[in-house]
Structure 1
Amino acid sequence: MEHPGKIQSVENAFQIIEFIRDQGSANLTTIADEIGLSESTTHYHLSTLKSHNVVDKRGNQYHLGYQLLEYGGIVKSRTQLYTYAKPHMDRIAIETDLAVYLGIEDQREIVHIASISMEGTSIIGDHDGKRTEFHSAALGKAILAFLPEEEVQEILVDLDFPEFTDKTITNPDDLREYLDTVVDQGYAINDEEDFRGWKGIAVPILSRDGVEGAISVAGPKSKINNQQESIVQLLKESRDEIELNYNVEQ
């Protein structure tokens, strides 16, 4: 059935793309069973997507196509926040020898719109476009602390608070208390809340309209601890320059 304001064939195509994204690859029968379509209809969708390089077929397995990589690169390059932040991300990565991330809030999630990896300081599976949690990531807490109260309430209601380690915040009251700390000190910390032995520090990037995103440094906890004070200072200095350029252009 068609949904009001939606085209079902387009919905089906996106369900196929998202299923292949989640699985890594899948064959025609598996995709058809998952989406709830006949194999012939699913094949038509896949053939169309393949003709536009949105999916690729290797043997009997379908994978995401490189056209999506081009789309993502275009979105990033046209994002004003990324334009202003990129030189600072490069400098921070060189000075700290740690991974640097730029994140925004999108559809009630945190999205990494850019990252710089340094050898031995990045999590396997990190990539631009990766979505992460508000309650455990430094980027998420830095952004959440400066969102409007009504939006914070809606996000907290929707959060499932998955527990990634024994240090993950799993209670909304505890998270709210920590968000007050973030506002007071101007930065957020992820202390082994996503991965054991891993730590991150993030500062929000603000404009006249509110919080635009956040920039963070992350890596092995021991390496962060050895230079935490200088990292915070470096992030805040970069944040100030990014905000200045951003607000001048508005």
Structure 2
Amino acid sequence: MVQSLARGIEILSIIQEKGSTTAVEIATELDVDKSTVSRLISTLMQYDMISIDPISKKYRLGFRLLYLSEGVKRNFNIAMLARPYLYKICDETKESVHLAVMGNKKMYIADQVRSQREYNLSAQIGMIEAWHCSSVGKCVLAYKPQSFIENLFSDYDFEKYTTHTIDNFQDLEMELKKIKEQGYAIDDEERTLGVRCMAVPIFNYGGNVSYCIGISAPKEQITEKTKKQYISCMKKYARQISNELGYGLYHKV
């Protein structure tokens, strides 16, 4: 790891979190000398990653980051590829549908399509989902190698959100085995009472899973009957997305 680069990224993260800040505050946060921070800030300013507020004299994020973020949107193919299918699932189930992706060992909501129901539950784009109690987290985790899972949970906080939340590794392992056998994951009031969520995996050309499709709804809307209908619909379109990613060329679907 290049230390100066890592610190530069940490500086951007600190400014993003605080909105604006001083070099002294950043140095304190990073536990380094102010001179070190000043040199890094100077470099970041040359590339418009950071700017300075003319009134407060505090540092804030620069406009270059907007340009880079647009590049992420343009090249984020899975979101563009999956969106038409999210609309189809929403249209057939009448529920809000979201796409979740794994990045840096975290599960993020990358896109969503909201239903027209008077009372609908929709995820927030950019939100991080817990591995142990979200349907999307468990769905992706079920297809990961055992070494990845053990490493991820070597120092993991099984936060207990409700009485239904899985709170230990042994029970989670059993749940992941079940998910892989049935091909979908359920969050049955594990994160929020009164809410049920379901997720199905999306496979890439190599057969790996880092994306999934999820539905969230009040528990009254996800009965045994509707659950079967929703899962069937989600699996159908998840297979089509997987095939567009090249999965069908190398694997039986």
Specify the TM-score bucket, using the shorter chain as the normaliser. 0.7 to 0.9
2:88 corresponds to 1:91: yes
2:182 corresponds to 1:185: yes
Q: In terms of mean alpha carbon deviation, does 79-88 or 134-143 score higher? A: 79-88
1:140-198 CA-partner distances (Å, limit 9, x unpaired):
11111111233223223243222233322111111111112212221101222223333
Contact 1:192 1:198 survives alignment (8 Å): yes
Contact 2:21 2:59 survives alignment (8 Å): yes
Q: Percent identity?
A: 25
In structure 1, distance between residues paired with 2:10 and 2:108: 20
TM-score, normalisation: structure 1: 0.79
Show the counterpart of 1:116: 113
Structure 2 unaligned segments of length 5 or more: list them: none
2:210 corresponds to 1:216: no
Aligned partner of 2:2: which letter? Answer: K
2:19 corresponds to 1:25: yes
Instruction: Quote the RMSD (CA, aligned, Å).
Output: 3.0
1:38-74 CA-partner distances (Å, limit 9, x unpaired):
5565455446545645346565365545644543443
The SS at the match of 2:190 is coil
Larger Rg over CA atoms: 2
Show the counterpart of 1:164: 161
In structure 2, distance between residues paired with 1:30 and 1:12: 14
Aligned partner of 1:246: which letter? Answer: L
In structure 1, distance between residues paired with 2:41 and 2:192: 37
Distance 1:6 1:76, change over 3 A: same
Structure 1 unaligned segments of length 5 or more: list them: none
The SS at the match of 1:162 is coil
Map 1:26-65; keep pairs closer than 5 Å.
26-28=20-22, 29-39=24-34, 42=37, 45-46=40-41, 48-49=43-44, 52-55=47-50, 60=56, 62-65=59-62
Q: Which of 2, 6, 9 is the equivalent residue of 1:6?
A: 2
CA shift, 1:133, in A, is 2.2
In structure 2, distance between residues paired with 1:238 and 1:193: 26
TM-score, normalisation: structure 2: 0.78
